[in-house]
Chain A
Amino acid sequence: MTDARTAIVRDLEPVRPLRSPSVRALTLAPLAAAIMLAVPLLHFFRPDLRAIGFVRAWGFSIGQSLAGLIIVAAALRESIPGRALSRAALAWTFGIGIAVPAVLLGLTASTFDLGPGPGRALRDGIVCFRASALGAVPVLIASAVLVARAFPLRPAVAGALYGLGCGLIADAGLRLFCGFSQPQHVLLAHGGAMAASVALGALAATVTASR
């Protein structure tokens, strides 16, 4: 132990422990709110915004954003040694992360046949995918920094978790902009952007942890 002890004692100085995962996740709340607003503001608000009502439009989006922040908090917890999530907890978290936008879509849409016009499916899909995926990037970077300051023992898992949370946050803004409810559009464009966010998070955390 002599060598390690010498090195440790030489380097010993007071350090301030990291704040709890929930407090650190809350620091992302302003950014999450900004992203939720920026996605529709940079494009336009969905035409039926008034028709669906305040709760189903803004209330649900705020709720989805909060769900995203909770999942980011779970990722921050996962990145603390000894506090890793169990397999069951991980399965529940991912399940809830996927279910939230689906349930909110079910509660918001009156029919599920509203989609892009003929010949516009690909173009509109790309617009939604890009808006959501790019919207997730700022909060993804901020989450990656928070996770990297801790010590994730399973970086890919922590990264996939915060990627999912960030995907949810960006999708909360997207649902204020895109009123389409057609399953193939929602699955491919909206779900695809969330999947991309999960993959990007896992990759970013793995790369950061290996350095």
Chain B
Amino acid sequence: MAPDAKSDGGRLDRSERELVELMQGYLDGRVDAFDRLHAALAGRLRGYLRSQCRDAALADDLLQDTFMQIHRSRRTYEPGRPVTPWAFAIARHVYLMHARSTGRRLRFEDRVAADVKAGDIARDGLQAMVDGDEVRRALRGVPPHQRRALLLHHIDGWSFGEIAARLGIRVNAAKTRAFRGMKKMRERLHGHFSRERETRRAGRSDGVRRSGGRR
């Protein structure tokens, strides 16, 4: 996974020794040390993330998340130990968490698509969806802090790392807010679709009279 950080005899090689010094500076709160550490690690981490997700733009997002996570857990670095395996382990974790949440989101979207397909939704109901009335109504029912995370991620396309930085919360909290917001949206839209289905069913059983009445 990570490049070998040690030379023969278990001693740190030169580049790793430099990283260790930079990491120490970073722990001491020096911005220049962080910048140099970032410059030294970013390329390799980006390459690793790119090889995992096979998407350059996504790899850049994940790289940001990785550095945010490195920052949050920097106190878990043991002074004097190689920095590279530590940083790569965090990058791998960030990638795996992303893959897991993406999988979850895809399954959720598949379920919604299946609901729509199987639910015999009235054309005018879909039209209402297209117009956005129901979506907006459902969105209004989502608590503001969840709505903000949801819109930033799903509409504006921000990464969770960016949302966390913007809102001053942890990445996991940003993910949770967006996920819960989406769940609430789904529940509300599902309620709307259920009502639509019932209306249609009632309309079908009493179709002639109702259509006659409308005319």
Binding site for B on A (CB under 8 A): 1, 3-9, 11-18, 20, 79-84, 150-151, 153, 210-211
Contact = CB atoms under 8 A, between A and B. Distances in A.
Contacts of B89: 81-82, 84, 153
Contacts of A17: 27, 74-79
Contacts of A13: 29
B78 A9 contact: no
Closest 8 CB pairs of A and B: A7-B165, A82-B85, A81-B89, A82-B86, A14-B29, A82-B89, A151-B73, A4-B64
Given A17-B75, A150-B76, A82 B88 contact: yes
A81 B93 contact: yes
B29 A12 contact: yes
B38 A18 contact: no
B93 A1 contact: no
A3 B64 contact: yes
A41 to B, nearest CB: 37
A14 B28 contact: yes
A1 B63 contact: yes
A174 to B, nearest CB: 34
A85 B65 CA distance: 25
Say which size band chain B's interface belongs to: 35 or more
Contact of B31 (A7, A12, A151): A12
A80 B74 CA distance: 10
A31 B65 CA distance: 38
A197 B161 CA distance: 36
Given A82-B85, A150-B76, A151-B76, A1 B64 contact: yes
A18 B75 contact: yes
Contacts of B75: 15-18
A9 B74 CA distance: 13
B202 to A, nearest CB: 44
B38 A5 contact: yes
B34 interface: yes
A16 B26 CA distance: 11
Contacts of B67: 1, 4-5, 8
Nearest to A14: B29
B68 interface: yes
Nearest to A20: B78
A98 to B, nearest CB: 28
Contacts of A151: 73, 76, 90
A8 B71 contact: yes
Interface in B60-105: 63-65, 67-68, 71, 73-79, 81-82, 85-90, 92-93
Contacts of B77: 17
Contacts of A1: 38, 42, 63-64, 67
Nearest to B42: A1
B162 interface: yes
A11 to B, nearest CB: 7
